[in-house]
Amino acid sequence: GVGLESMQGYVKQYLVIGRKLPTESEPEPTLYRIRLFAKNHVLAKSKFWYQMKRQFKVRKCQGEIVNVSQVFEKKAGVVKNYGMVIRYNSRTTPVNMYREYRDVTLNGAISQMYMDMSGKHRALQENIQIIKTSVVPKSELRRKEPILYSRNSIKFPKVKPTKRAPTRGLKTLFKADRPTLI
């Protein structure tokens, strides 16, 4: 199999709606809706309260979550280019960054970004904040790797597997001719 689900880097997209608790002075407080990427709804709620505390000065004990819903993509079978503006805390300072990925879903592109950032910049998933995501047309791509794979003329070789000897007795160390792989 693929191993433990908790060890996979795949994330889901959630819309979390919450507000400050109603009081006598403010019986209908403002509802806040935040789009988040998390492995499950529990972590999505936790990220929601982190953002609420930073942006609107509302802590978990001062507010309530009205709704948590998972967002699914409509056209998940089409490869698209995704651009995202992120902010992550390096060891010394916060860094703003723009990155581009190709994937069939936004969740897959975000998962790629988390893996990429952990490998290239040693950034932990909890230290990365996604500011903005968008679908980028082919003509507006900026990064080298998505441009390479978005060309119409791209071709991949069809590699034929090499034949192995059926038994150990028929195996030889040297062959008379070189195998053709393509």
User: Is residue 29 packed enough to be buried (19+ CB in 10 Å), middle (13-18) or exposed (0-12)?
Assistant: middle
Answer whether residue 10 shows pLDDT above 90. Answer: no
Alpha helices in the chain (DSSP H): 41-56, 106-120, 144-149
Q: How much is the pTM?
A: 0.79
pLDDT band at 1 (very low <50, low <70, confident <90, very high): very low
**High-pLDDT (> 70) share of the chain, %:** 93
Please report, rounded to a whole number, the percentage of residues in the chain having pLDDT higher than 90: 72
On the 0-12 / 13-18 / 19+ scale of CB atoms within 10 A, 123 is: buried
Is residue 160 within 8 Å of residue 182, measured between CB atoms? Answer: yes
pLDDT (mean) for 11-39: 96
Task: Report the first-to-last Cα separation within the chain, whole angstroms.
Answer: 30
pLDDT tens digits for range 98-120: 999 999 999 999 999 999 999 99
User: Mean pLDDT throughout 8-24?
Assistant: 93
Residue 34 CA: distances (Å) to CA of 16, 20, 38, 51, 66? 5, 14, 12, 8, 12
| Predicted confidence (pLDDT) at residue 40 exceeds the cutoff of 80 | yes
Q: Is the pLDDT of residue 182 over 80?
A: no
What is the residue-averaged pLDDT of the chain?
A: 90
How many C-beta atoms surround the C-beta of residue 143 within 10 A?
Answer: 14
Residues forming a β-bridge with 87: 96, 129
Judge contact between 62 and 20, C-beta under 8 A. Answer: yes
The answer to whether residue 38 scores a pLDDT higher than 80 is: yes
Look at residue 4 and tell me whether its pLDDT is greater than 70.
Answer: no
Q: How many residues does the chain have?
A: 182
Residue 5 confidence (pLDDT) above 70: no
Q: Give CA–CA dist 131/148, Å, rounded.
A: 26
For residue 166, the surrounding DSSP H or E stretch is: none
